[in-house]
Structure formats: structure tokens, C-alpha cells
Chains A and B, each alone.
Chain A
Amino acid sequence: MDLFDQRAIADDGAGEYGLSGDMKKTQYVLQLLGAPYCAETLKCILIAAEQGMEMNCGAITMDDLTSDAFTSVAEFGMAPALKENDYFTTGSKAITEYINARGLGFSLIPKNITMASEQEMWIDKSRAQSNTSVLTLVDEAICSGTNDGAKVDAAKQALNPLLDDLNELLGKDKYIGGKNYTMADLHWTATCHLIHLAAPDMIDSRSNIKAWLNGMHTKKSNCGQSLIAATLLPTVDDIKANKLNNVVIDDF
């Protein structure tokens, strides 16, 4: 039994389809290892919900990243990590695009190459340009709760221009992707959700982002099911308890 099977298990705890590699309906149940304070993990949960793929999620700690149990299933110790039967991969780019391709809904990557490339710029802003600052905010406000003023201010200073640009963009259209919900919206939903938990004023003071994020919390999944993906995102208590929600699909 590897780390996925020990931690990324169904809520009811009983043996189920997928755990031993059996098929559930038309797919295996995915298994994810990650952390509730990590935006990249949350993006993987969102895409699974949007594309109608069941996923059991297990939380890992910073110490786990260097453990043999983790590195034996996640090459180079990269997180988040995904398992589907005998297939393993790591990193949010790999996992989100894999699930996007495997899932039931239409692709969240625009077919128009200029639009797809522009989306990549926004995705890059939510990853490479935001992650460190978002982690700092979440750590200072929630995980450790130390609220170091200098660290928080530095993180906010780094994020402010990105959020200003995003607020301006969302003043022009319904989604970051324009008229349609795309992968860029998914990435920023996770990022803005964490920012809102740690520093609500940064989101609430930007009316277009606030309205868009509220929309994400009412939007039904991309694959047509009644599941609202954003409802699976962690609360402050979930983050403190290091708990991740599973993606359970009930209506087929």
C-alpha cells in the first residue's frame, strides 16, 4: 500500500472502486496528495470537479516531501502528486492538463492559439509570480498565525499589481478567459480563494475580482453536473487541520 492508498482515500473509508485498480463506471478514481494551503493542490481539486472526475485527496506535510514514502511515488519529491491506477505524475501543470484531457467536460484550454497563449500568461501570473507571496500570507495568517507585519506587507506589495491588473481585466468581461470559463479562471480561483482567506481586504477592495470570485462559488461544473467546484476549496479550519476535500461525483 503506497502513500496514495494510505492517505488519499474515500470519505466512507470502505473499500471502493478504484482503490485496487478496479474501474468505476468509465474511469479509475484519481488519488491526489497535496496540501490545503497550497494553491497548486487546490487547482487540481478544482479541475477534477469541473471535469467530472472523482478524486480522493490526501494531505501531506512539508516533512513528507523528503520522506521515502513520498519520493517513491512522486519523482523528485514534487507536489502535488497524482495517481491513476498505474500512472503517476506531479506538478499542477501536469495534473490539471491531464485531468482536463481525461475528463468529461469540453477542454478548458481555448482552441484559438492566441487566446490559449494569453491564458498561459495569466496562469503564469497565478503560479510563478504569486505562489510565494500567497504562501506567505496563508502561513502568517492561518498556518503559523505569527502575522509578521514585514513579511505580510512584502507579500501584499508583490501581489497588489497582479490583483490590480486582474481587477481591470475582469471589468471588461465575465471571465479571465473572456466570454468563456477557461483554465486561467480555474488557476486564479484557487489563488484568490487563499488570498481571501488570509487577507480578505485584498479581494473585497477590488469589486470586479470580488464579483467574479462570488460567481466561481455559484458556477456549476464545466461537465454539466450540479457540483460547484469551488465548494470543495478548504476553509480556514480545513487549512489548520491540514484537511483536503475529496471530489465525489453523484449524478451521472
Chain B
Amino acid sequence: MGLFGFGKKKEKTAAAGANDTYTLSGPATAATAKCIMTAGVRKVSMEITMNDADNVTLTHGPVTLVGESAIETYLDVRGEGAPLRPKKARHLGDQNRWIEVSSSLLDNNEKVDQVTARMNEILAEQDYLVGPLTQADAPVAASILCLKKAGKLPSGLTNVETWLGRVEENIPENLRASYMSHLS
């Protein structure tokens, strides 16, 4: 019975309207950068405010979300076109592994040489980290841009630089300058 979802109770939750504004506020950290990049790649227009809060927050109508994971999940579905979350289990596993690599290692300035070298190898063979564009590319790109901004990105990563440009091209022109100004 469980296989077909029988018995699973449906619940009503508050939902944002089509005209509700997205507002993102947060500190100048990798977490905020990731949310901005995800919004850009998913073509979501939002008002951005940088502040000294502990965490990044997104409001959209009655919905308030705190933290990069929740916000990225929300923006992926709310964005334009099909969500980037892969249906293929192995792609999903790879995507989530890269998301965790960026949070656990890159954002803490750990194993940067090793991780970016591996990214450079992978991106020589394919356009994005997992193959197709997935939920991983925006946050990992944001982590890389934060490292670049801090002068901690190793040089010579030609394929990573090309991939950064490719990810950025997914951001609509009317949002790109504004969003990238927060990231660079």
C-alpha cells in the first residue's frame, strides 16, 4: 500500500502568490552568495539586502525560509522552467555530493587545491559538474567565486573558469550585473 502512496495524508500549507516579491537578506558569506547564484540560474528576480544577520533568509509572500539548503530547494522549484533536480539517482547522488563538498570543504577553505583540480579534470569532459546542469552548479560556482574574491583560488584552472562563465550565462541579462556585483 505504501508503494503507491495510499494513506499518505495531504496537508495544506501557506503558499506565495504569483505577484509576491522575493526578498533575500543575509551576511556577506558563501551561503548568501549561493542563494543569489541559485536565484540567478533559476531566473528568479529578487530584492537583495546584505546585512549582519547570522544567516541568510528568503521571504516570498507568507513563506520565510532560513539557510542555504532550504532556500536553494525552494528557488529550484519556483524558478523558470523545469527544476534542475535530477531524476536519475546517480546524478542526484553526484549533485548532492558536490553540494556537500562545497559546504564542507570549499567554504571552509579545506582541500581547495585537490577539489578544484578534480573539478578542472571533470569539466574538461563535460559542460557541468554532473553532466547536465543540476542544482549543484550554482552553489559550487558561488563557492569558487568566494574563493576567487578572497584570492584563494589556484591559478591555471582553465576548465573551471570556462564553466564559471557557462553557469553565469544562465542568469538572464537583466539580473546578471546586479547579482554578479554581489558575488565578485
Closest to A106 in B: B5
Contact between A113 and B92 (Cβ–Cβ < 8 Å)? no
Chain B, residues 104-125, CB within 8 Å of chain A (1/0): the string is 1100000100110010000000
- Of the candidates B11, B67, B94, which one forms a contact with A124 in the assembled complex, judged by CB atoms under 8 Å apart? B67
A-B contact count (CB 8 A): 112
Contact flags A99-133 to B (C-beta < 8 A → 1, else 0) = 00110111000001111111011011000100000
Q: Give chain A nearest CB distance to B65 CB in angstroms.
A: 5
Q: Which of B4, B5, B74, B114 contacts A117 (CB 8 A)?
A: B74
Given B2, B78, B92, B115, which contacts A223 in the complex, CB threshold below 8 Å?
B2
Tell me if A113 and B73 are in contact (CB < 8 A): yes
Whole-angstrom distance from the CB of B14 to the nearest CB of chain A?
A: 7
The size class of the interface chain B forms with chain A is: 35 or more
- Interface locus among B43-51, B95-103, B143-151, B176-184: B95-103
Q: Could you say which of A85-93, A149-157, A209-217, A243-251 contacts chain B? A: A85-93
A145 at the B interface (CB under 8 A): no
B39 close to A (CB within 8 Å): no
In angstroms, Cα B94 to Cα A90, docked, is 9
- A75, A92, A112, A124: the one contacting B118 at CB < 8 Å is A75
Q: Which chain B positions have C-beta within 8 A of A78?
A: 97, 100-101, 104-105
CB distance from B41 to the nearest CB of A (A): 17
The answer to whether B3 and A106 have CB atoms under 8 Å apart is yes
A93–B96 CB distance below 8 A: yes
Given A93-B100, A98-B96, answer yes or no on A117-B8 (Cβ-Cβ < 8 Å): no
Is A224's CB under 8 angstroms from B3's CB? yes
CA distance A106 to B8 in the complex (A): 9
Is A17 interfacial (CB-CB < 8 Å)? no
Q: What would 21 A/B residue contacts be, using CB atoms closer than 8 Å?
A: A76-B105, A78-B105, A82-B93, A90-B97, A91-B101, A93-B97, A93-B99, A94-B97, A98-B89, A106-B2, A113-B73, A114-B14, A118-B65, A120-B69, A121-B66, A121-B70, A124-B69, A128-B67, A179-B11, A180-B11, A223-B2
The residues of A with any CB-CB pair to B shorter than 8 Å are 75-76, 78, 82, 87, 89-95, 97-98, 101-102, 104-106, 112-118, 120-121, 123-124, 128, 178-180, 222-224
